[in-house]
Amino acid sequence: MTQSYLTSITPDSLSGLLFSLEGIRDGIVLLNGPSGCKFYHSSVSDGQMIRSLDFDPLSYPEKWYFGQPHVPCTSIDNGDYVYGSEEKLREILKFLRDNVKFNALFVVNSPGAALIGDDLRGIAESEIKDRPVIIYESPGFSENMPKGHTRAFDALIPYIKKNNDVKDSCHSHIGNCHAEDYSRKTSVKGVHQKKVNILGLGLWRRNFQGDVEEIKRLCEMMGVRVNCMLMAGCYWREICSLKDADLNIVIAPEFGVKIAETLKELGGTEYYICESQPVGFKATELWAKEICKILALPNPRRIIEESEKIRARCYPLISRLNSLTGLPTGHPFAVEGRYSEALGYCKFLLEYFGMTPDSISILDKDMDYSKNALENFLSAYGVKSALEKQIMDTDGEIVLACGNTIGALKLKGTDFGGIDISLPALGYIDVIPKTHLGLSGAALLVELILNGLRF
């Protein structure tokens, strides 16, 4: 079957770059490019971190904002591609400098503007001299979104290095992943609350706010302080203090492995990678135990106890439904996502609910850190063939995918329960922040899956 073009569209490196930088709360992301490159990214960013109380274009009437509070844009046109965009750049830089509060400025060329050859750094640094100005001459051509996220981080490295001179000397780092070695390296006089950086989350996630809150909550339950939630609602000062952490925790390998490796090279900080994202009770318990072991902390008793309580609440609901209908055991599901996402959801639905994967559609296949783990897991249950079936052909009764894919399947008349796990979403307004990670996420997924199978 030839895959439909519309179902193959995924965000590119420019989107990864802009969404990542927009995840720095006290920074401004200036896009040097046509207005068409701005609108979608500004809209998504404002949906994830709301700055405007309405959609009145007069709320942001300046010509660079086009009524949107995020990603101001130079709006270059045909003439600028020939003669350069310096005049427009200087105009908006002066406006931002004199009228907007920010601690760091990120100037990003759109793919077309990257071909012009303007001296972005010289122009920007001549207008803004009292705050960091980070330049992205190219957003990456035809690269995927995770690579755009890594590209966003790479330009921050000089500022992370500078912080090395003022680093708190009592904050030692892990030399390797073995708890017994770490405990030997931590002096008694230097005892302090362990600090971690969280890598791999960001505005591109469907449940961005809920993901951040749940991971922070779990860390607090382990007695661990989150030093920086990198480019996921963090502040510039937190980025500059990345090397102060005792451990870097990679939630999504596609977005965090390269960054974790770089941070280890810069300061020796060890990292822990979630091969599958912590989706479900078992995965969350294992995640917490391994982190506590690495940091030489006591067993995460509070997390285990909470997990047991939520399991006890879920079990009779599943048992009663199963006794009447046979659901959910043996019923098919489909997942669309990157390898680590697919692995997390597959483990939970297959091992906890006893459901069977009908289709597993992988995005950004070249980001394959968790590929072997997923294939080995599916092979162990004899269901590896699910990787070969396109999601638009699925017979799954539960479909976990983006809103576009769920909508397209609904238009085909397919009867299933859809759970949007990535953007674009279905448009449901979350008053209470949701997540599929951790214990709160496991409880929500039980609720969504049981109701999705029934209605």
Please indicate, yes or no, if residue 3 is contained in any of the structural domains: no
CA separation for the pair 30, 81 (Å, rounded): 18
Please indicate, yes or no, if residue 175 is contained in any of the structural domains: no
Summarize pLDDT for 106-161 with one digit per residue, the tens.
999 999 888 898 999 999 999 999 999 999 999 888 899 999 999 999 999 999 99
Answer yes or no: do 158 and 241 share one domain. Answer: no
In which residue are the tokens 């953007």 written?
423
Rounded to the nearest 5°, which phi and psi values hold at 439? Answer: -75, -40
Give the other-Cβ count within 10 Å of 434's Cβ: 18
Q: Tell me the C-alpha to C-alpha distance, in Å, between residue 123 and each of 31, 38, 93, 134, 385.
A: 14, 21, 9, 12, 55
Answer yes or no: do 329 and 449 share one domain. Answer: yes
Residue 189: band (very low, low, confident or very high) from pLDDT cuts 50, 70, 90: very low
Please indicate, yes or no, if residue 131 is contained in any of the structural domains: yes
Answer yes or no: do 206 and 336 share one domain. Answer: no
Q: Of 161-170, 182-191, 265-274, where does the model show the most confidence?
A: 265-274
Answer yes or no: do 320 and 277 share one domain. Answer: no
Please indicate, yes or no, if residue 348 is contained in any of the structural domains: yes
Answer yes or no: do 46 and 101 share one domain. Answer: yes
Summarize pLDDT for 386-412 with one digit per residue, the tens.
999 999 999 999 999 999 999 999 999
pLDDT of the residue at 8: 55
Helix, strand or coil for residue 152? helix
Given a contact cutoff of 8 angstroms between Cβ atoms, the answer to whether 74 and 206 are in contact is no
* 285, 303, 321 - which closes a domain: 303
Please indicate, yes or no, if residue 425 is contained in any of the structural domains: yes
DSSP 377-395: HHHHTT-GGGGGS-GGG--
Question: What CATH number does the domain containing 86 carry?
Answer: 3.40.50.1980
Answer yes or no: do 66 and 158 share one domain. Answer: yes
Answer yes or no: do 446 and 387 share one domain. Answer: yes
* DSSP 8-state symbol, 231: T
Answer yes or no: do 291 and 359 share one domain. Answer: no
CA separation for the pair 444, 328 (Å, rounded): 16
* 138, 162, 186 - which closes a domain: 162
Helix, strand or coil for residue 195? strand
CA separation for the pair 454, 165 (Å, rounded): 59
Given a contact cutoff of 8 angstroms between Cβ atoms, the answer to whether 260 and 248 are in contact is yes
Summarize pLDDT for 309-331 with one digit per residue, the tens.
999 999 999 999 999 999 999 99
Answer yes or no: do 445 and 365 share one domain. Answer: yes
Give the other-Cβ count within 10 Å of 161's Cβ: 13
Assess whether the previous peptide bond of 328 is cis (omega < 30° from 0). Answer: yes
Distance of CA 333 to the CA centre of its chain: 24
Please indicate, yes or no, if residue 343 is contained in any of the structural domains: yes
Summarize pLDDT for 6-16 with one digit per residue, the tens.
455 678 999 99
Residue 82's identity, in one-letter code, is V
DSSP 232-300: SSB-HHHHHTGGG-SEEEESSHHHHHHHHHHHHHHH---EEE-SS--BSHHHHHHHHHHHHHHTT----
Average pLDDT over residues 94-103: 96
Q: Which residue, 134, 137, 92, 90, is CA-closest to 113?
A: 137
Answer yes or no: do 146 and 52 share one domain. Answer: yes
Distance of CA 257 to the CA centre of its chain: 13
Please indicate, yes or no, if residue 185 is contained in any of the structural domains: no
Beta bridge partners of 205: 422
Answer yes or no: do 154 and 39 share one domain. Answer: yes
Please indicate, yes or no, if residue 190 is contained in any of the structural domains: no
* DSSP 8-state symbol, 4: P
User: What is the total count of domains within the chain?
Assistant: 3
Range of the domain at 323: 311-453
- Tokens for 66, please give them: 């086009």
* 239, 271, 303 - which closes a domain: 303
- Tokens for 437, please give them: 């990670």
State the pTM of this model.
0.91
Answer yes or no: do 239 and 270 share one domain. Answer: yes
CA separation for the pair 357, 338 (Å, rounded): 15
Summarize pLDDT for 17-74 with one digit per residue, the tens.
999 999 999 999 999 999 999 999 999 999 999 998 888 888 898 999 999 999 999 9
